[in-house]
Amino acid sequence: MTLMTKFLGAAAVVALSAGAALAEPALIFDLGGKFDKSFNEAAFAGAQRWSEETGGTFREIELQSEAQREQALRRFAEAGSNPIVMTGFAFGNVLEEVAPDYPDTKFAIIDMVVDQPNVRSVVFNEHEGSYLVGMMAAMASESGTVGFIGGMDIPLIRKFACGYAQGVKAVNADAVVIQNMTGTTPAAWNDPVKGTELTKAQIAQGADVVYAAAGGTGVGVLQTAADENILSIGVDSNQNYLHSGKVLTSMMKRVDNAVYNAMSSGADLETGFNVMGIANGGIGYAMDEHNAALVSADMQAAVDAAASQIANGSLSVHDYMADNNCPVE
Amino acid sequence: MDFLSLFDLSVLDSTVRLAVPLLLACLAGLFSERAGIFDIGLEGKMLAAAFFSAAVAHLTGSVWLGLLAGITASLALSLLHGLASITFRGNQLISGVAINFLAAGMTVLVAQDWFHQGGRTPSLIGQGRFSPIELPLATTLKDTPGFGPVYHDLISGHSVLVYLALLMVPATWWILYRTRFGLRLRAVGENPAAVDTAGVSVVGLRYAAVMICGVLCGIAGAYLATALQAGFVKDMTAGRGFIALAALIFAKWRPWHALYATLLFGYLQAISLRPDIIESAIGFTVQIQLLDALPYILTVVILAGFVGKAIPPRAGGEPYVKER
C-alpha cells in the first residue's frame, strides 16, 4: 500500500510538472505473478531501477487469466502508455494482432519474436550463458559426469541443454552429459517430485553437478542436489542463495536489463530484433558470497576468458534453435 | 541385453517413492467410490494438503503439526464434496472439478499472501521435514549378499509415511471385508436402498467414507510436500490425483490390487527416468512419452474390457433419494 501511495504521489508530481503529454511506460506481468522469484520479478526489478533513476513512473498489471492478455494490452495502449513491455512468450499471438491497431505505440516483448514494425522483440542468447555454466560444471565435477534437467521438452529448453553440453565438452571432451526432460506438457514446469527423482536417477548414473532449467521443477532438483551433497546450477535469476554452498552458480538472464533498456528509450524505442547476449550484459553467471567457496580463481578466469571470447566473436556457441540440431551429445 | 538391470535397486527405490502418493490417493478414492461417491477431486485435496502441510510445518517448525494441517485442509474439502453431493444431491463430478479448481487457485493465492515467494512456501529445514528412517540392522546387514542391499536401499530409508501407506493396504482390506462397517460401506455403494431398509443411515456411511478419503488424501499431499520435497510449489501434484483414479479403475476397486496397480504405475514412471537402463536392457530406445502415457493406455484397455471387466460400484455417482 505504501508503495502504491508512493507511486501515486510520484505520478501526481510528474503530471503537475510535465503535463499530460508525457507518456508513461507500462509493464505487463505474465501469469507467474510479479513476485515469482524469477522471470517476472526480474522484470519488475528492472522497471523499478528505471523508476528510481529517472524519477519516472510506470503502469503495471499482473495477469490473472489468459483472457486478460489482449484486454490489458489494449487498455494500456488506449490510455497512451508508451512503450508497453510484456514478459513471456505467451504474449506472441496476441501482440501480433494488437500491435497493428496502435501504430504510434511501441511494444517490447521478451522471449518471443513478433514481426511488426512497432515491436521490439527481445531474445536472449541462453546458449551462451549455458555454455559458461557448462564449463564450470565440467571443472567442478570430479566424476566426469554432469547432468541437465529441463522442464517441458521444447526447442528453447534444448537450446539451454545444447549450450551446456558444448561448454562441458570444451573443458573435458570425455565428460558425459546426461540429459533429461521432465515432460511434454506444461505440468513439467511444476513437478518438483519428478525433478527430485530425475536428480536421484542422474546421481545413480554418476552425475555430481546438475543444471536445472525447469521452472518450479528445478526447486526439487536444487533441493535434492543439496540433500545428496552434490552441486547444482540455478537458472534465469540468481538462485545461489537457495542452498548456500551447494549451488555452484546460476545462469542469469538479465530480464531486468531488457526492461530497463526498453523503458529508458521511452517512445523512441528502437524496434526490431534485440538480442541480449554476453556482449551486451544480457546473459551472465552469478557470483556472490553463497558460491564464492565453490568457484576457484582458475575456474573463474577460464570462464571469464571464454565469456570475452564469445563477446568479441572469436568463440561461437551453436544455437540449437538455429537448425534444431546439436553438434554434441 | 541385460533384463535384470530393469530392476536396478535405484529404479525400484524410486518406484516406491513415486508409488506411495498414488497409493494413498488410490485408497482414498477406493473408500469414497466404494460408498458410491465418485471423487475426481483427489488431485485438489492432495494439493491443498500439500500446501497447508508445508505452510504450517514452516511456520511452526514441526512436521507433525504440518501433517495435521494438511489432513485438516483435505478434510475441509471432503466435507464440501460431501455437502454438495450427499446432502444437496448435486452432481459428484462437477463438485470434484470445482474442488480441483478451488485448490489450484486458493493454494497459490494464500501462499503469495503469506510468504510472497511467487506461490511457493519457503524451504523446510530440520524438524519441518519428514526425514528417512533407518530400519533396525540396516547398516549391519548392508553387506550381506542378496538380501542386504535390498533391505538397506529399498526397504529401509523411507519416511514414516511410506510405511504408513503400505500398512494402509491390509488395513483397508480388513476394514472393507472383515468389519460390519466395511460391509455396510460396500453395500451403500451397490444398493443404498437395501442399507436404508435395514435401518442404517446411508448419509452417515457416505459421509464417513468421504471423510476417510479426506484423511488419506491429506497424508498423500503432506507426503509430497514435506517428505519428498521440502516445501510447496504451485500445482506440485502434477496430475497424480488423476493417475490414482486410473489406478483405481485398473485395480477394479480392490485394495491389494490398488497396491499392485500403483506400484506398476510408479515403476513405469521410475523407469522412464532412466532411458540408459531401458536401452541397455532391451537394445533399443523407447519413447519416454510412451512410458508416461502407458498408465492411461492400460486403464483404457481395462475399461474397454480386454482384460477382465471393470465394473464400478453400481450406485456410484448417484445421489440417494429416499422413496416417499
Q: Do B229 and A190 touch (CB under 8 A)?
A: no
% of residues, chain B, pLDDT over 70 = 99
How many residues appear in chain A?
A: 329
CA distances (Å), A251 to each of A232, A277, A305, A308, in order?
11, 12, 17, 16
Q: How many residues does chain B have?
A: 324
Answer whether B105 touches A (CB < 8 Å): no
Within 8 A by CB and 6+ apart from B118, the residues are A32, A33, A35, A36, A37, A38, A40, A41, B112
User: What's at B147, amino acid-wise?
Assistant: F
Give the residue among A251, A275, A238, A257 at the shortest CA–CA distance from A45. A257
- Spatial neighbors of A35 by CB under 8 A, at least 6 apart, are A41, A44, B112, B116, B117, B118
Short-list A201, A226, A216, A110, CA closest to A148: A201
Chain B: nearest CA to A118, how far in angstroms? 32
A149 near A221, Cβ under 8 Å? Answer: yes
What ipTM score was computed for the predicted complex, to two decimals?
A: 0.90
Residue B247: what pLDDT? 93
pLDDT in tens, B28-60: 999 999 999 999 999 999 999 999 999 999 999
Chains A & B: contacts with CB separation below 8 Å:
88
Residue A215 is predicted with a pLDDT of 85
Cα gap A89→A84, rounded to integer Å: 15
Listing DSSP states for A228-249 in one string gives TT-EEEEEES--GGGGTTTEEE
- Model confidence band, residue B154 (pLDDT cutoffs 50, 70, 90): confident
Domains and CATH numbers, chain A: 2-124+255-276 (3.40.50.2300), 126-252+296-323 (3.40.50.2300)
Q: Which residue has the higher pLDDT, B173 or A88?
A: B173
Q: Kind of pairing, strands A26-29 and A84-87?
A: parallel
Buried b (16+ CB within 10 A) or exposed e, B251-281: bebbbebbbebbbbbbbbbbbbbbbebbeeb
> Per the CB < 8 Å rule, is A196 touching B229?
yes
Q: How far is residue A63 CA from its own chain's centroid?
A: 19
At residue A319, the 3 state secondary structure works out as: coil
CA distance A41 to chain B (A): 9
Is B10–A184 a contact, with Cβ atoms under 8 angstroms apart? Answer: no
DSSP state of A198: H
How crowded is residue A267: how many other Cβ atoms within 10 Å of its Cβ? 12
Q: In the prediction, which pLDDT does A18 show?
A: 41
Please give the pLDDT value at position A90.
84
Contact (CB<8Å) B233/A192: yes
- Residue-range domain boundaries for chain B: 3-124+149-303
- Alpha-carbon distances, residue B42 vs B27, B92, B218 (angstroms): 11, 12, 10
Which of B18, B118, B274 faces A36 most closely, judged by CB atoms? B118
pLDDT at residue B165 tops 80 = yes
Distance CA A287, CA A289 (A): 7
The confidence score (pLDDT) of residue A8 equals 54
Q: How far is CA A97 from the centre of its chain?
A: 25
pLDDT band at B285 (very low <50, low <70, confident <90, very high): confident
Per-residue pLDDT at A16: 42
Spatial separation of the C-alpha atoms in residues B118 and A24, rounded to whole Å: 26
Please report, in angstroms and rounded to a whole number, the separation of the first and last CA atoms in chain A: 51
- The rounded distance, in Å, linking the Cα atoms of A321 and A128 is 13
CA distance B116 to chain A (A): 7
Least CB–CB distance from A198: residue in B240, B273, B276: B273
Pair type for strands A247-253 and A283-285? antiparallel
Residue with cell 546426461: A178
Each residue's pLDDT tens digit, B212-254: 999 999 999 999 999 999 999 988 998 999 999 999 998 999 9
Q: Name the strand (E) or helix (H) holding A68.
A: helix A68-78
CB-CB under 8 Å, B117 with A184: no
Q: Which residue of B has its CA nearest to A198?
A: B273
CB B196 within 8 A of CB B321: no
- Using an 8 Å CB-CB cutoff, list chain A residues near B116: 35
A101: exposed, middle or buried (C-beta count within 10 Å: 0-12, 13-18, 19+)? exposed
What's the pLDDT band for B161 if we cut at 50, 70, 90?
very high
Within chain A, which residues score under 50 in pLDDT? 1, 12-21
Q: Could you write out the three-class secondary structure of chain B?
A: CCHHHHHCHHHHHHHHHHHHHHHHHHHHHHHHHHCCCCCCCHHHHHHHHHHHHHHHHHHHCCHHHHHHHHHHHHHHHHHHHHHHHHHCCCCHHHHHHHHHHHHHHHHHHHHHHHHCCCCCCCCCCHHHCCCCECCCCCCHHHHCCCHHHHHHHHHCCECHHHHHHHHHHHHHHHHHHHCHHHHHHHHHHHCHHHHHHCCCCHHHHHHHHHHHHHHHHHHHHHHHHHHHCCCCCCCCCCCHHHHHHHHHHHCCCCHHHHHHHHHHHHHHHHHCCCHHHHHHHHCCCCCHHHHHHHHHHHHHHHHCCCCCCCCCCCCCCCCCCCCC
Q: What is the pLDDT of residue A19?
A: 38
Minimum distance, in Å, between the CA of residue B213 and any CA atom of chain A = 22
Answer yes or no: do A201 and B229 touch at CB < 8 A. Answer: no
- The reply to whether B235 touches chain A by the CB within 8 Å rule is yes
Q: Which of B20, B11, B7, B43 is nearest to B262 (CA)?
A: B20
Per-residue model confidence (pLDDT) at position A17? 41
* B3-124+149-303 is a CATH 1.10.260 domain: no
Band (pLDDT 50/70/90 cuts) for residue B157 is confident
- What mean pLDDT is predicted for residues B258-264? 95
For residue A210, what pLDDT is reported?
97
Beta carbons of B66 and B125 less than 8 angstroms apart = no
| List of chain B residues whose C-beta atoms are within 8 Å of the C-beta of residue A227 | 230
The chain-wide mean pLDDT, for chain B, equals 91
Please report where in the chains the cell 520479478 appears, as a residue.
Answer: A41
Contacts of A196 in chain B (CB under 8 A): 228-229
